[in-house]
Structure 1
Amino acid sequence: MLILLINHLLAQQGQLRRELARFEGKVAEIVALPVSARFQIQPDGLLVSSAEAPLTTLRFSPSLLPRLALRDEAAYREIVVDGDALLGAEIGKLLRNLRWDAAEDMSRLFGDVVTHRLTRAGATLFGACGELLQRLASQYAEHWTQERPLLAKPDGVAQYLQEVDHLRDAVERLEKRLAHLENRSHELPSRH
């Protein structure tokens, strides 16, 4: 499923596909448990599922997904690349630069003329007339984040993710300290 989605987005971005095609035949894997995808790069830059051992694996926690979706550069640095660093960098670049061209998909469904009109209408709606919609959206967002907290505020989500990162780092430091103390206790002469 992930490969189909990536291929759909790649089909809309010829430049990314051409850059990826330089790695034709190489196998890579993206792992964000419980989701993983192992794929081989085809001559046209698209991906096909593969059972071969990957040359590179990109691993990250699913908790990074919201930050990756928000294009948080610090989140991209937390992706662990095992194996071929050059291929890993190219796959990372792919993840960073994939974009959805909604107008192209709409054109396939409704045709070019209807899509053009919808796009123009949307621009008008979100232009001068869109101010009213923007106010309404703002009021609803305030309602759902302040009065009836159903949605999380972006600042709150960012703070939560930062606190999770700090907690994870503190746990790692504590584990290292415990391992160090455990090693020292084995080195001390025993008293009988």
Structure 2
Amino acid sequence: MATQSPFSMLEGLFQNFNLPFAPPAWAVDETHRRVVLLLNHVLQQEPQAMERLVRQKGRVVLVQWRTFVFKVQVTPAGLLDLATADTPADLTLVLTEESPFTIAQTLMEGGKPAVRIEGDVQLAAEVNWLVDHVRWDIEEDLSRIVGDAPAHTMVQAGRSFAQALQQFVGKAAPTPDRSGPAA
């Protein structure tokens, strides 16, 4: 008997409402600015990532999922800045999976969501390298605020929670019947 994911019920509930969720423009703009700040903070912790991005200065990457669009431009310093709406994208990454719960499940399983890639191949290779090699050292950032021991404890608790959630999602995912025909 296949076990159905509890997320499918929530997803069906959200889809049935069909509410036109459109946050105000100022909230979208502020969220984009905060994401760029976080991405730049992470990039600054990896000098090799910045060196790779310097070679792509001025290039524009557009990321899209459903109606959400996020467009950034590589700066001469190897960091990111918001690109203007009229700037053409050199690389477009479109998340093809419609379900936020399926995307979350894929990420929790350590995978990458399905993406349609259009545009510059070299820029796409650099973005892929960044995704594969750059990680946020949240423990280091927390230790600056709360100290080393509490930061380590908080990160360990977070990892335990993530691992438990990952195991739950893995158990909840339907598994194909491999029993085959009886001999």
Other-structure match for 2:123: 87
What CA deviation, in whole Å up to 9, does each residue of 1:92-112 have, x standing for no partner?
A: 2222333121232124324xx
Q: Which residue of 2 aligns with 1:48?
A: 81
Alignment CA distance shift 1:27-1:157 (3 Å): farther
Give the conservation status (yes or no) of the 8 Å contact 2:142–2:151: no
| Same amino acid, percent of matched pairs | 27
Between the aligned partners of 1:70 and 1:7, the Cα distance in structure 2 is 26
Aligned to 2:105: 66
Cα drift, residue 154 of structure 1: 2.2
CA distance in structure 2 between the partners assigned to 1:7 and 1:69 by the alignment: 24
The match for 2:56 among 7, 23, 29 is 23
Partner of 2:5: none
Inter-partner Cα distance in structure 2 for 1:15 and 1:44: 12
Cα displacement (A) at 1:69: 4.8
**Deviation per CA, 1:28-87, whole angstroms, max 9, x where unpaired?**
111123432111101222100012110110111344343135431xx35x3111011111
- Residue in 2 that maps onto 1:7: 40
Report the 3-state secondary structure (helix = DSSP H, G, I; strand = E; otherwise coil) of the residue aligned with 2:77: coil
* Contact 1:59 1:79 survives alignment (8 Å): yes
- Confirm whether residue 154 of structure 1 aligns to residue 154 of structure 2: no
Larger radius of gyration: 1
Contact 1:28–1:39, Cα closer than 8 Å, also in 2: yes
Q: Deviations over 1:165-192 (max 9, x none)?
A: xxxxxxxxxxxxxxxxxxxxxxxxxxxx
CA contact (8 A) 1:71 1:96 kept: no
State which of 83, 102, 120 in structure 1 corresponds to 2:138: 102
Aligned amino acid, residue 88 of structure 1: A
When the two chains are superposed, the root-mean-square deviation of aligned CA atoms in Å is 3.4
Q: After the TM superposition, list the runs of 4 or more consecutive aligned residues in structure 1 that deviate by more than 3 angstroms.
A: 117-120, 156-160
Letter in 2 for 1:35: F
Question: What's 2:4 paired with?
Answer: none
Given residue 93 of structure 2, which amino acid in structure 1 is its aligned partner?
L
Instruction: Please report how far the alpha carbon of residue 91 of structure 1 lies from its aligned counterpart in structure 2 after TM superposition.
Output: 1.4
Q: What residue number does 1:184 align with?
A: none
Higher RCO (C-alpha 8 Å, min separation 6)? 2
Distance 1:155 1:65, change over 3 A: closer
Equivalent residues, number: 132
TM-score (structure 2 length as normaliser) = 0.58
C-alpha spacing 1:153/1:89, structure 2 compared with 1 (3 Å): same
* Matching residue of 2:18: none
Secondary structure at the aligned position of 1:153 is classed as: helix
**Alpha-carbon distance change, 66 to 16 in structure 1, aligned in 2, over 3 angstroms:** farther
Gaps of 5+ in 1: 146-150, 163-192
Aligned partners of 1:3 and 1:37 also within 8 Å: no
SS class of match (2:117): strand
Runs of at least 5 residues in structure 2 that lack an aligned partner in the other structure: 1-31, 177-183
TM-score (normalizing by structure 1)? 0.55
**Counterpart of 2:118 in structure 1: which amino acid?**
D
